[in-house]
Amino acid sequence: MAVSRTSSVRATTAGSFRPVMIGGCILAFVMVLAPLAAIVWVSFFENKIISFPPTGYTLDWYRAAAAMPQFRDGFVTSLKLGVVATLVSMFVGVPAALVLARGRFSGREAIQSLLLAPLIVPGIVAGAALYMFLIEVELASGVQVAMTFWGLAIAHSLIALPWTVRLITASLIGLDPQLKEAALTMGARPFTAFRLVTWPLIRPGVVAGALFAFIASFVDLEKSLFLVGPGVTTLPIVIVNYLEWSIDPTIAAVATVQIAIISAGLVVTDRYFKLARAF
Partner 1 sequence: MSALAITGEGSLTGGRPAPGGTDRRRRSSTAGWLLFPSLTLVLAGLILPLALMARTSVAHFDAASPDLVGFTLENYARFFGEPFYLTILARTLLVALSCTAICLVLGVPAAFVISRVESRTLKTALILATIIPLLMGNAVRAAGWMVLLADKGLINSALLSAGLITEPVRILYTGSAVVIGLIAVLLPFMIISLQSVFEGIGDAYEEAAQTMGAPPWTAFFRVTLPLAMPGIFSGCLLCFVLAMNAYATPVLIGGPSFQMMAPKVFEQAIKVYNWPFAATIALVLMAVTLALSVASSLALQKRYGAL
Where in 140-159 is the site for partner 1 (CB under 8 A)?
A: 154-155, 157-158
Tell me how far apart the alpha carbons of residues 135 and 144 are, in angstroms, rounded to a whole number. Answer: 8
119, 216 contact by CB (below 8 A) = no
Q: Which residues pair with 232 in a beta bridge?
A: 229
Nearest distance from residue 8's CB to partner 1, in Å? 12
Beta carbons within 8 Å of 127's beta carbon, 6+ residues apart: 155, 222, 223, 224, 225, 226, 227
The string of DSSP letters for 163-197 reads HHHHHHHHHHHT--HHHHHHHHHTT--HHHHIIII
By the rule CB under 8 A, 42 interacts with partner 1: yes
By the rule CB under 8 A, 14 interacts with partner 1: yes
Nearest distance from residue 242's CB to partner 1, in Å? 9
Q: Which of 133, 143, 195, 268 binds partner 1 (CB under 8 A)?
A: 133
- How many C-beta neighbours within 10 Å does residue 170 have? 19
Residue 231 DSSP code = T
Nearest distance from residue 193's CB to partner 1, in Å? 15
Nearest distance from residue 178's CB to partner 1, in Å? 7
Per rule CB under 8 A, count of chain residues that contact partner 1: 99
Nearest distance from residue 59's CB to partner 1, in Å? 18
Interface segment toward partner 1; rule CB under 8 A; list 57-65, 119-127, 167-175, 199-207 = 119-127
By the rule CB under 8 A, 183 interacts with partner 1: no
Residues 43-82 touching partner 1, rule: CB under 8 A, are 50-53
Using alpha carbons, select from 94, 76, 100, 98 the residue that is nearest to residue 210.
94
The pattern of x and - marking residues 191 through 220 that bind partner 1 according to CB under 8 A reads ---------------------x--xx-xxx
